[in-house]
């Protein structure tokens, strides 16, 4: 009988061992997957126990913080609408969006905790997450926000030398502190306040000529050569028109950029060849993921393929001056501008300056690094001189400021269908030693010089004034 | 020490204090038990069970303090029953004399439950009187074990070697096999009619394994496999809730907020615990899983003290089961041997089925985890068995080495 008992005992032990393998499966192998299961509310309930870290601008101004009140924790946004929708919101009812969503793990202190930290967490009921210090400057943000108010569009200001995002405004906006009460109104509002327009795609129009310039240079074309602009030209049966059919007369590259001459860029772009053009747009980041903390859609040359192998002649001609099917986000446009400003090197953009844990120890700090190098220093200087001419003699003149030389380019992009053109303005200043690069988009605002330039001007003036104050 | 904290926190009114004090006293008594009553049996069983009991009480207090206050009473009652059984039942062998009484008692209890019982969670397994719920099937386990052990010790040889030759196999005759099959079919049939399918599975495995232990004939194990399949299929076809259980077992994520709510919440809790657990009191499962205080207490444990804690609990059960088998191999007589093995099989099978259920390794069947889940009937039943086991173990201490074989019975 002892033999039988031993066998049954063996069966039992094996069953228990098998059972513990089940535990290993769930608690080790599948643990992350189960936490992501939509029916699992665990993450939300756990979150309620953790005090979300604060969000601050580069000077320590509070942008978001969690306050303990009698009814529990309340997330407040002292700056109101100014930083929305970039900052986003974090609610139990509607989930989260913006930085509050993408940086949730950091703010809640759940990102890659050390073993020691995990053991501490196990015994600590009330916990505080990490604080985020952003690269944004709330004073510059305020200027950008005020200038764009009442319009639809976006303003992005970047420090070209290190990729710091100094201001990022999208209009319309909303008050994240009142998101739960106003939810239905906010989602019903026109032009979607919840969508960050700086991270949405638009046709760039003439600001694309900055990118096309690179193709012209890199094909080795003579930019001093004169071209007679007659107000329109026919390429492969398709008529390319100037804005208001204006004939610019004899122009070289600098003047063509200054006057924003469509026919020059179409003719010279085609002369440079589709391969040089596609290489140039690729070098500027079209068809590439932007290495950024926030999701930015890929800028694209055609609807079907962000970076096609080839282009039909007609589509190529339109693409050279930013029409056709070219789509780009204001954020990417600001990066392109910053690249021209920074001797042809586009820095990796940063929104998060540093992360501090609950005891104010720094656990992350950004480091400047180069993302792309679409231009050589000489090529960047050539474009800069064209953009300076555009401010001093050309279409970009409404953006000129006293006391500093700015370099700029306008764009008035046909949105397709009815409605006014999208007004674009990209600029950097001071032209000789750039400290700020700006991209402004006013949707259906009309001309770049009319609607977008004053906003860029205000932002650049404020930025230079702040720099002056620091020095 | 815990009592001191309660005193300091001015919680002496809460009802926990008195019960906690009694509980502590009874645990202490357990420690002195060996000395006072010259207990010579297995020294590990009681402390390990008390550990399981204490962990269960801690988690119940955390999940539902009101229930925990009740559970303290049951735990205290259980411990008293354990000591009482050991003291009163000087010779467990007398239990074996009432073979058919136990069998009939088991059937009667089940029959009465089926007729007069209350249905809770789909199973008609509850008796309600004076506002208290009681599950007779927990006592049926005791009665059935006693019947099986005495029946098998009487008929071991006949069952083992058989008297009728059928082809290659020599099978026992109808008269020998009759009572076993009769009781088995009726017990399982009645449980099936009550829709207590988890308990039916436990009883079935218990009978098969204990038969194997007594006879060491693989034939009985082999025959049981198609039997399980046929009855499982029948259950699947006959009962709606079995079909739901199987469907949610195969894919709980399809209907995670509906029919599969229990199992998916259990899995979420277990996987949320990871290696070290969320810490006691930090888990979400205690509020989210239905029946966290009974069938799913293990999921809460696995979440809050993690893989390490859950493995510790599993190990405690392995120790209890293995000690039962140890007692069995050392028992002085055949009845005690089979009975002790049966108790081990019962506890092991119960723990395995419910643990495999909450970890989605088997379809879910509602069963309490012995000594851990909330429930008075289960507590009383299992302490009865533990008391009997202590008796068997104690008797075997004065055995073979000192007393000539054949006179062991007289020696006690």
B266 part of a folded domain: no
pLDDT grade, residue A335 (50/70/90)?
very high
Q: B147 with B99: CB under 8 angstroms?
A: yes
pLDDT at res. B412: 42
Res. B259: pLDDT tops 50: yes
Q: What is the DSSP string of B376-397?
A: HHHHHHHHHHHHHHHHHHHHHH
Chain B residues lying within 8 Å of A48, measured CB to CB = none
Q: Alpha helices of B15-135 — where are they, by DSSP H?
A: 16-36, 45-63, 65-88, 99-116
Minimal-distance CA residue of chain A relative to B319? A13
Read off the pLDDT of each residue in A161-187 and give the average, rounded to a whole number.
Answer: 88
pLDDT grade, residue B411 (50/70/90)?
very low
Q: A97 with A194: CB under 8 angstroms?
A: yes
Of the candidates A42, A38, A27, A44, the residue with the CA atom closest to the CA atom of residue B358: A27
For residue B294, what are the domain limits?
A: 15-88+280-397
Sequence-distant (≥ 6) Cβ neighbours of residue A457 within 8 angstroms? A398, A399, A400, A401
pLDDT digits (tens, 9 = 90+) for A115-148: 555 555 555 555 778 888 999 999 999 999 999 9
* Bridge pairing between strands A127-128 and A346-347: unpaired
B155 part of a folded domain: yes
How far apart CA A419 and CA A412 sit, in angstroms, is: 12
Chain A residues lying within 8 Å of B304, measured CB to CB = none
Question: Max alpha carbon distance in chain B (Å)?
Answer: 76
B53 part of a folded domain: yes
Asked if residue B379 and residue B299 are part of one domain, the reply reads yes
Sequence-distant (≥ 6) Cβ neighbours of residue A199 within 8 angstroms? A170, A294, A295, A296, A297, A329, A331
Q: Can you tell me whether residue B346 is helix, strand or coil?
A: helix
How far apart CA A431 and CA A401 sit, in angstroms, is: 12
Of the candidates A234, A228, A233, the residue with the CA atom closest to the CA atom of residue A248: A228
Torsion angle, CA of B357/B359/B361/B364, rounded to 10 degrees? 20
Q: Which two tokens stand for residue A289?
A: 């993921």
Read off the pLDDT of each residue in B163-168 and give the average, rounded to a whole number.
Answer: 77
Q: A56 with B301: CB under 8 angstroms?
A: no
pLDDT at res. B402: 47
pLDDT at res. B403: 47
pLDDT grade, residue A428 (50/70/90)?
very high
Asked if residue B318 and residue B232 are part of one domain, the reply reads no
Asked if residue B114 and residue B80 are part of one domain, the reply reads no
Residue B303 burial (10 A CB sphere; 0-12, 13-18, 19+): buried
Q: Are A28 and B274 an interchain contact pair (Cβ–Cβ within 8 Å)?
A: yes
pLDDT at res. A307: 87
Q: Does B321 touch chain A (CB under 8 A)?
A: yes
Torsion angle, CA of A229/A234/A238/A243, rounded to 10 degrees? 20
- At B179, which helix (H) or strand (E)? helix B174-194
B306 part of a folded domain: yes
B195 part of a folded domain: yes
Q: Are B359 and A41 an interchain contact pair (Cβ–Cβ within 8 Å)?
A: no
Read off the pLDDT of each residue in A297-318 and give the average, rounded to a whole number.
Answer: 89
Res. B32: pLDDT tops 60: yes
pLDDT digits (tens, 9 = 90+) for B291-327: 888 889 999 999 989 999 999 999 999 999 999 999 9
Mutate to test the interface with B, among A15, A47, A49, A120 (most CBs of B within 10 A): A15
Q: Which of residues 7-66 of A touch B (CB under 8 A)?
A: 7-9, 11-13, 15-16, 18-20, 22-24, 26-28, 30-31, 33-35, 37, 39-42, 45-46, 49
CA distances from A335 to A282, A325, A330 (A): 14, 20, 9
Q: Which of residues 251-310 of B touch A (CB under 8 A)?
A: 253, 256-257, 264, 267-268, 270-279, 281-282, 284, 288, 302, 306-307, 310
Asked if residue B234 and residue B103 are part of one domain, the reply reads yes
Place of tokens 């073993």: A115
Asked if residue B223 and residue B99 are part of one domain, the reply reads yes
Identify which of A1, A16, A26 has the shortest CB distance to residue B271.
A26
Asked if residue B224 and residue B288 are part of one domain, the reply reads no
Q: Where are the domains of chain A?
A: 141-470
Chain B residues lying within 8 Å of A125, measured CB to CB = 279, 281-282
Q: A426 with A336: CB under 8 angstroms?
A: yes
Chain A to chain B, count of Cβ pairs less than 8 Å apart? 133
Say which CATH superfamily domain A141-470 falls into. DD-peptidase/beta-lactamase superfamily (3.40.710.10)
Which residues of A are catalytically annotated? 206
* Structure-model confidence comparison of residues A42 and A272, the more confident one: A272
Q: Tell me, what DSSP letter sits at residue A284?
A: T
Read off the pLDDT of each residue in B355-378 and give the average, rounded to a whole number.
Answer: 89
Lowest mean pLDDT among A69-73, A277-281, A420-424: A69-73
How far apart CA B303 and CA B271 sit, in angstroms, is: 7
Does this complex have an ipTM over 0.95?
no
How far apart CA B362 and CA B364 sit, in angstroms, is: 6
Asked if residue B336 and residue B288 are part of one domain, the reply reads yes
Asked if residue B151 and residue B131 are part of one domain, the reply reads yes
Q: Can you tell me whether residue B188 is helix, strand or coil?
A: helix
Chain A residues lying within 8 Å of B328, measured CB to CB = 5
Residue count of chain A, please give it: 471
Q: Compute the mean pLDDT over every residue in chain B, rounded to the nearest whole number.
A: 83
How far apart CA A280 and CA A286 sit, in angstroms, is: 9
Query: Using omega within 30 degrees of 0 as the cis cutoff, is the peptide bond preceding B340 cis?
Result: no
Q: Can you tell me whether residue B182 is helix, strand or coil?
A: helix
Q: Measure in Å the smallest separation between the Cα of B321 and chain A Cα atoms.
A: 8
Q: Can you tell me whether residue B283 is helix, strand or coil?
A: coil
Asked if residue B305 and residue B354 are part of one domain, the reply reads yes
Lowest mean pLDDT among A124-128, A180-184, B12-16, B264-268: B12-16
How far apart CA A128 and CA A420 sit, in angstroms, is: 49
Query: Using omega within 30 degrees of 0 as the cis cutoff, is the peptide bond preceding A336 cis?
Result: no
pLDDT grade, residue B121 (50/70/90)?
low
Asked if residue B365 and residue B386 are part of one domain, the reply reads yes
Q: Which of B208, B238, B268 is the last residue of a domain?
A: B238
Q: How many CB atoms lie within 10 A of CB A182?
A: 15
Q: Tell me, what DSSP letter sits at residue A404?
A: B
Residue count of chain B, please give it: 412
Q: B21 with B373: CB under 8 angstroms?
A: no
Asked if residue B22 and residue B109 are part of one domain, the reply reads no
How far apart CA B366 and CA A22 sit, in angstroms, is: 19
Q: B408 with B399: CB under 8 angstroms?
A: yes
pLDDT at res. B15: 61
Asked if residue B24 and residue B149 are part of one domain, the reply reads no
CA distances from B368 to A215, A305, B292, B349, B372 (A): 76, 60, 11, 12, 8
Chain B residues lying within 8 Å of A2, measured CB to CB = 329
B2 part of a folded domain: no
Q: Are B271 and A34 an interchain contact pair (Cβ–Cβ within 8 Å)?
A: yes
Lowest mean pLDDT among A186-200, B125-139, B369-383: B125-139
Q: Are B268 and A34 an interchain contact pair (Cβ–Cβ within 8 Å)?
A: yes
pLDDT digits (tens, 9 = 90+) for B74-104: 899 999 999 889 888 878 888 888 888 888 8
How far apart CA A88 and CA A84 sit, in angstroms, is: 6
Residues paired with residue A426 on neighbouring β-strands, in sequence order: A409, A439
Q: Are A31 and B212 an interchain contact pair (Cβ–Cβ within 8 Å)?
A: no
Identify which of B253, B274, B302 has the shortest CB distance to residue A37.
B253
Q: Which of residues 337-376 of B touch A (CB under 8 A)?
A: 337-338, 341, 344-345, 348, 352, 355-356, 359-361
B263 part of a folded domain: no
pLDDT grade, residue B126 (50/70/90)?
confident
Q: Compute the mean pLDDT over every residue in chain A, rounded to the nearest whole number.
A: 86
pLDDT digits (tens, 9 = 90+) for A277-290: 999 999 999 999 99
Total number of domains constituting chain B: 2
**E strands in A195-237:** 227-229, 232-235
Residue percentage of chain A with pLDDT more than 90: 34
Minimal-distance CA residue of chain B relative to A13? B318
pLDDT at res. B410: 47
Q: Are A122 and B277 an interchain contact pair (Cβ–Cβ within 8 Å)?
A: yes
Minimal-distance CA residue of chain B relative to A50? B282
**Torsions phi, psi for A157 (to 5 deg):** -120, 130
pLDDT at res. A122: 53
Q: Are A9 and B307 an interchain contact pair (Cβ–Cβ within 8 Å)?
A: no
């Amino acid at each position: 009988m002892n033999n039988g008992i031993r066998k049954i005992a063996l069966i039992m032990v094996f069953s228990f061992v098998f059972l513990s393998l089940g535990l290993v499966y769930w608690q080790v192998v599948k643990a992350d997957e189960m936490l992501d299961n939509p029916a699992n509310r665990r993450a939300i309930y756990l979150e309620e126990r953790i005090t979300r870290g604060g969000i601050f601008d580069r000077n320590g101004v509070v942008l978001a913080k969690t306050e303990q009140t009698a009814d529990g924790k309340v997330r407040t946004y002292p700056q109101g609408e100014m930083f929305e929708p970039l900052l986003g919101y974090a609610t139990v009812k509607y989930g989260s969006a913006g930085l509050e969503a993408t940086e949730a793990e950091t703010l809640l202190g759940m990102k890659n905790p050390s073993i020691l930290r995990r053991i501490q967490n196990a015994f600590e009921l009330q916990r505080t997450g990490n604080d985020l210090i952003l690269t944004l400057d709330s004073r510059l943000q305020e200027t950008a926000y005020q200038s764009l108010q009442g319009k639809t569009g976006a303003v992005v200001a970047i420090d070209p030398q290190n990729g710091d995002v100094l201001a990022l405004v999208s209009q319309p906006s909303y008050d994240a502190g009142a998101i739960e009460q106003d939810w239905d109104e906010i989602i019903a509002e026109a032009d979607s306040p919840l969508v960050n327009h700086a991270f949405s795609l638009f046709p760039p129009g003439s600001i694309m000529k900055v990118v096309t310039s690179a193709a012209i240079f890199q094909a080795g074309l003579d930019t001093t050569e004169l071209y007679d602009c007659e107000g329109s030209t026919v390429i492969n049966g398709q008529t390319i028109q100037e804005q208001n059919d204006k004939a610019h007369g004899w122009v070289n590259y600098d003047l063509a950029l200054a006057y924003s001459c469509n026919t020059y860029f179409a003719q010279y772009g085609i002369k440079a060849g589709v391969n040089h053009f596609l290489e140039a747009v690729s070098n500027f980041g079209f068809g590439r993921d932007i290495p950024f903390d926030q999701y930015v859609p890929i800028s694209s040359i055609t609807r079907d393929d962000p970076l096609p192998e080839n282009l039909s002649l007609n589509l190529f001609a339109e693409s050279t001056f930013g029409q056709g099917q070219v789509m780009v986000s204001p954020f990417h446009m600001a990066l392109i501008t910053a690249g021209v400003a920074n001797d042809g090197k586009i820095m990796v953009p940063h929104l998060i300056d540093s992360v501090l844990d609950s005891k104010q120890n720094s656990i992350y700090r950004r480091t400047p690094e180069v993302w792309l190098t679409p231009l050589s220093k000489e090529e960047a200087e050539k474009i800069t001189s064209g953009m300076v001419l555009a401010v001093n003699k050309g279409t970009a003149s409404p953006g000129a400021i006293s006391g500093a030389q700015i370099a700029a380019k306008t764009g008035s992009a046909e949105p397709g269908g009815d409605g006014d053109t999208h007004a674009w303005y990209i600029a950097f200043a001071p032209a000789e030693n750039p400290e700020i690069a700006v991209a402004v988009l006013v949707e259906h605002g009309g001309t770049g010089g009319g609607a977008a330039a004053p906003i860029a001007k205000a932002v650049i003036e404020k930025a230079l004034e702040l720099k002056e104050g620091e020095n | 020490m815990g009592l001191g904290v309660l005193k300091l926190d001015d919680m002496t009114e809460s009802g926990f204090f008195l019960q906690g004090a009694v509980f502590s006293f009874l645990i202490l008594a357990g420690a002195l038990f060996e000395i006072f009553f010259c207990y010579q049996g297995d020294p590990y069983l009681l402390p390990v069970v008390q550990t399981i009991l204490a962990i269960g009480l801690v988690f119940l207090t955390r999940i539902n303090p009101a229930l925990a206050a009740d559970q303290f009473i049951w735990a205290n009652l259980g411990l008293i029953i354990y000591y009482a059984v050991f003291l009163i039942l000087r010779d467990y062998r007398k239990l074996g004399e009432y073979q058919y009484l136990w069998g009939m008692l088991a059937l009667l209890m089940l029959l009465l439950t089926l007729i007069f019982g209350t249905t809770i969670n789909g199973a008609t397994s509850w008796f309600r009187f004076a506002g208290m719920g009681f599950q007779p099937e927990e006592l049926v386990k005791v009665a059935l074990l006693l019947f099986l052990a005495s029946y098998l010790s009487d008929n071991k040889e006949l069952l083992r070697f058989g008297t009728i030759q059928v082809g290659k196999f020599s099978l026992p005759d109808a008269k020998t096999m009759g009572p076993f099959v009769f009781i088995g079919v009726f017990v399982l049939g009645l449980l099936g009619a009550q829709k207590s399918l988890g308990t039916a599975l436990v009883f079935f495995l218990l009978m098969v394994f204990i038969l194997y232990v007594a006879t060491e004939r693989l034939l009985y194990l082999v025959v049981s496999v198609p039997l399980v399949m046929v009855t499982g299929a029948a259950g699947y076809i006959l009962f709606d809730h079995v079909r739901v259980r199987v469907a949610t077992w195969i894919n709980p994520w399809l209907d995670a907020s509906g029919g599969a709510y229990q199992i998916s919440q259990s899995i979420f809790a277990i996987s949320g615990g990871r290696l070290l657990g969320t810490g006691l009191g930090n888990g979400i499962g205690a509020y989210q899983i239905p029946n966290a205080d009974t069938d799913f207490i293990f999921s809460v444990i696995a979440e809050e003290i993690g893989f390490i804690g859950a493995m510790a609990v599993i190990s405690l059960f392995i120790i209890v089961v293995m000690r039962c088998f140890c007692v069995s191999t050392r028992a002085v007589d055949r009845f005690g041997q089979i009975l002790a093995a049966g108790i081990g099989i019962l506890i092991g099978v119960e723990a395995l089925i419910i643990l495999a259920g909450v970890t989605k390794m088997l379809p879910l069947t509602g069963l309490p985890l012995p000594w851990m889940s909330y429930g008075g009937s289960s507590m009383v039943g299992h302490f009865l068995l533990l008391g009997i086991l202590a008796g068997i173990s104690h008797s075997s201490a004065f055995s073979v080495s000192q007393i000539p074989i054949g006179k062991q019975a007289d020696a006690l």
